[in-house]
Chain A
Amino acid sequence: MTGALPPAIRPFVQFAAVLREHRFAVSPDQTIDFIEGVGLLGPRSIEDVRSAARALFAIPPEREAEFDALFRAIFFGQTIAAPAPSEDDDEGETEAHEPGGEIEIEAEEDEEEAGAEATVVERLSHREIVGAEDEALARFARLAPERLPRRRSYRRARARKGDQPDIRRAIRAAARRDGEIMVLPRRRRKERQRRIVLLIDVSASMKAETDAALRFAHALAQAADRVEIFTLGTRLTRITPALAPAGREQALARAASLIADIDGGTRIGDALQAFLAVPRYAGFARGAAVIVLSDGLERGDPAEMVDAVRRLSRAAWTLDWLTPLKADADFAPRTGALSAILPYLDQLGAGGRVEAVADHVLNIARAS
């Protein structure tokens, strides 16, 4: 495949292939630009090649460590100076990194115990699905399109009873009729689904409800256009992309493999603070319907949690907290943290059972 290339640029093409193998989205024209860019810089140092690669392959900042490790693996010890054409460059150095060859990545990644992971996957995929729950999820999928909360878009579309005249259409019609306007078409602002942010507590105290919550999360991810789903445990994990596949088994297995802290301790405050500290995540919550599925049993400092909830409620359009404990008739928030956040919540509802959560989400738009 790479045999027909001039030996001087072979390592660059291989580098692109290796990047692709490691799940970096790299397109052929980016590779061409990369080689061109290196030529342009007339590289004086390996650092130039590195910055060219970083800029032209559009490496996101959070994967820089991984990228650097790959870069070192490919280019370490290789001179970039073009060798004379007569020289044969096929020494072991490049051969060692043929696509398919394993490269040790020394980037710091979160180590996950494969054993624990496997059991979680098993638990989520091989279990008896309760009929009532499936029914509730099916009903949710059916009703979601019209019942999920909506907001007005800035765009206007043609409407029979709009609030503004559609001048453009009117002019076009008038141009066809010698400048006479017979009817005035109207426009109205369209509506679109408001973003929903679902935060799921996956700590040990929520163990019984975690599976159901994740199944609901998958149904929600399928039904809603704009949704973001995170799990809160000892740390924060974004599982939105994992829940994208329509097949539930596959999606839940993918989600489970991401969640390293399932059934761990509870540090909701920390996890929420982490959520707010990432501008992109905090941006998700702005103007969104935020739903937290948690019992609010905080092991860490409740002040952290209260502060995070206060900030979250200010950014969000609504903030609802669904706790499984509320299923008891005589439930009143007794834990310090839960009663302290009460003023900032729009609703404290019953969570735990999929039916209850699904109903709640379908009724957000009506409650507000």
Chain B
Amino acid sequence: MPVRPVISGVGSPDALGQALAGAQYLASEPLATAAYLALALGKPLLLEGAPGVGKTEAAVALGAVLSRRIVRLQCYEGIDAAAALYEWNYPRQMLAIRQAGEGHLNLYADEFLLERPLLEALRAPDDCLLLIDEIDRSDHEFEAFLLEFLSDFQISIPETGTIRAARAPVVVLTSNRTRDLHEALRRRCVYHWIDYPDPALEAEIVMARASTVARSTADAVVASVNLLRAEPLAKPPGVAETIEWAEAATLLNSQGAAWPAAFRRAIGVALKDQDDLTYMAQRFDAVLPGEAA
């Protein structure tokens, strides 16, 4: 398997990590390593982790670093090849048949083909990044189909023939691990398990993403979010919730609310489940951030 010419300006995992940081995504070192290896070896990158740890964000940042547009395929239960690959534009075909009358007509010309994400990525492997989101929500059949796609990067359209990518496109898959993916699929990919970032890194992320938040506020919010994650909640707050909570509390504070009260009133952006809120209601004082200057 030939090693790709390494992407310009990204000659090592550290360089990739810095480039990602430039794209507002602070990657941990193992993640930068995994992403670098995926790019260099031309393999898909499979990111697994709890909801809200920034899997999709990582893919978007990677797209920004490589200056490629993101082609996103959102998986769902029952997704089929038609939604992922291509469909024929039936109404236009009908019209064309009517208009052609006696004339010659190629019913399966490109103009009647509706590109879906996988086909789009195959046709422009050099300027897009294919993001296959939440693959664990799709069915096993679709996974098997995807396996074939990811090993050959070609699609057979019965009416026209086979479309093959000149080069393997950059592919990122994400999974919330609501079910286990097939071993064969995991083997095809470079794998990384994204965990919740450690407190220092998460505070950095909050600072990078929310410009209005003071350092002390970020630290306080991250500390209490980590306490919340230790509780048995239905929906533990992800990184996005941390950022929103810090922003919301800062906003309320700037309008004159005192700190602990501001945090408490903004809790709705961190906990988004009624049961979690009632469960935490009696224990708020234990996890609420204290004074943040």
- A interface residue numbers (CB < 8 A to B): 25, 27, 29-30, 32-33, 36-37, 40-42, 48, 51-52, 54-61, 64, 153-155, 167-168, 171, 174-175, 178-179, 273, 276-277, 279-280, 282-284, 286, 311
- A154: chain B residues at CB < 8 Å are 76-80
For the complex, is B189 an interface residue (Cβ under 8 Å from A)? yes
Q: Which residues of A have CB within 8 Å of B51?
A: 279
Pairwise interchain contact A171-B88, C-beta atoms closer than 8 A: yes
A42 to B78, CA, bound (A): 44
**Residues of the A chain whose Cβ atoms lie less than 8 Å from the Cβ of B78:** 153-155
Residue of A nearest to B233 (CB): A277
A284 touches B179 (CB 8 A): yes
Q: Which residues of A contact B281 (CB under 8 A)?
A: none
Closest Cβ of chain A: how far from B244's Cβ, in Å?
21
By a beta-carbon cutoff of 8 Å, the part of chain B in contact with chain A is: 1, 3, 6, 12-13, 29-30, 33-34, 36-38, 40-41, 43, 46, 48, 50-51, 76-80, 88, 90, 93-94, 97-98, 100, 107, 136, 176-180, 183, 186-187, 189-193, 195, 232, 234, 275
- Given A59-B191, A279-B178, residue A168 in contact with residue B90 (CB < 8 A): yes
Set of chain B residues within 8 Å of A25, measured between Cβ atoms: 183, 187
28 pairs from A and B in contact (CB 8 Å cutoff): A27-B187, A33-B43, A37-B40, A37-B41, A41-B12, A41-B37, A48-B33, A54-B30, A54-B34, A54-B192, A55-B33, A56-B37, A56-B190, A57-B191, A58-B46, A58-B186, A58-B191, A61-B195, A154-B76, A154-B78, A167-B90, A168-B90, A171-B90, A171-B93, A171-B107, A174-B94, A280-B177, A280-B178
List 6 tightest A-B contacts by C-beta distance, closest first: A154-B78, A283-B178, A58-B191, A179-B97, A55-B34, A58-B186
- The CA-CA distance from A279 to B50 in the complex, in Å, is 8
Partner of B41, one of A33, A58, A60, A277: A33
Contacts A155-B78, A171-B88, A175-B97 given; indicate if A273 touches B1 (C-beta within 8 A).
Answer: no
Asked whether B107 lies within 8 Å of A175 as measured between CB atoms, the reply is yes
How far apart are the CA atoms of A61 and B93 in the complex, in Å?
50
Given contacts A56-B37, A155-B80, A280-B179, contact A51 B29 (CB under 8 A): yes
Min CB distance, B146 to chain A, in Å?
Answer: 16
CB-CB under 8 A from B187, the residues of chain A are 25, 27, 29-30, 58
Provide the main secondary structure of the chain B interface: mixed
Q: Which residue from chain B places its CB closest to the CB of A61 in the assembled complex?
A: B193
Tell me which residues across on chain A come within 8 A of B186, comparing CB atoms: 58
Number of cross-chain contacts by CB at 8 Å? 113
How far apart sit A288 and B264, CA to CA, in the bound complex (Å)?
36
Q: Within the assembled complex, what's the spacing in Å between the Cα atoms of A36 and B80?
A: 35
User: Is the pair B189, A58 in contact by a Cβ cutoff of 8 Å?
Assistant: yes
C-alpha gap A286/B234 in the complex (Å)? 13
Q: Is the CB of B190 within 8 A of A55?
A: yes
Q: Which of chain A's residues have a CB closer than 8 A to the CB of B90?
A: 167-168, 171
The docked-state distance in angstroms from the alpha carbon of A286 to that of B80 is: 21
Q: Would you call B3 and A40 a contact (CB within 8 A)?
A: yes
| Closest B residue, CB atoms, query A48 | B33
The complex places the Cα of A277 from the Cα of B276 at a distance, in Å, of 13
Determine if A55 and B1 form an interchain contact, defined as CB atoms under 8 angstroms apart.
no
Most chain A Cβ neighbours within 10 Å, of B29, B51, B98, B190: B190
Contacts of B43 in A (CB 8 A): 33
- CA–CA, A154 and B33, complex, Å: 38
Chain A residues with CB under 8 Å of B50's CB are: 279
Q: Nearest B residue to A60 by beta-carbon distance?
A: B193
Closest to B192 in A: A55
Chain A neighbourhood of B1, CB < 8 A: 29, 32-33, 36
- Least Cβ–Cβ distance between B45 and chain A, in angstroms: 9
Bound together, the chains give a CA A150 to CA B176 distance in angstroms of: 25
Partner of B30, one of A55, A60, A277, A279: A55
> Which residues of chain A are near B37, meaning CB under 8 Å?
37, 40-41, 52, 55-56
Task: Write out the residue numbers on chain B whose beta carbons fall within 8 Å of the beta carbon of A279.
Answer: 50-51, 176-178
Given contacts A40-B41, A155-B78, A283-B179, contact A171 B232 (CB under 8 A): no
Q: Which residues of B contact A42 (CB under 8 A)?
A: 12
Tell me the complex Cα distance, A29–B43, Å: 12
CB neighbours (8 Å) of B176 from chain A are 279, 283
> With the chains together, A284 CA to B177 CA distance in Å?
11
Q: What CA separation (Å) do A283 and B275 show in the bound complex?
A: 18
On chain B, the residues within 8 Å of A273 by CB distance are: 232
**Cβ of B190 and Cβ of A36 under 8 Å apart?**
no
Q: Which residue of chain B lies nearest to A180 when distances are taken between CB atoms in the complex?
A: B97
- Alpha-carbon separation in the docked complex, A64 to B79 (Å): 32
Known: A171-B88, A280-B177, A283-B179. A41 touches B13 (CB 8 A): yes
* Chain A min CB distance to B86 (Å): 12
CA distance A277 to B97 in the complex (A): 57
On chain B, the residues within 8 Å of A57 by CB distance are 191
A57 to B93, CA, bound (A): 47
Q: Give every chain A residue within 8 A of B190 (Cβ-Cβ).
A: 55-56, 58
A273 to B37, CA, bound (A): 38
Which of chain B's residues have a CB closer than 8 A to the CB of A64? Answer: 193
Closest A residue by C-beta to B235: A279
Cα distance A30–B177 when bound, in Å? 22
Chain B residues with CB under 8 Å of A48's CB are 13, 33
Q: Kindly provide the distance from the CB of A240 to the nearest chain B CB, expressed in whole angstroms.
A: 10
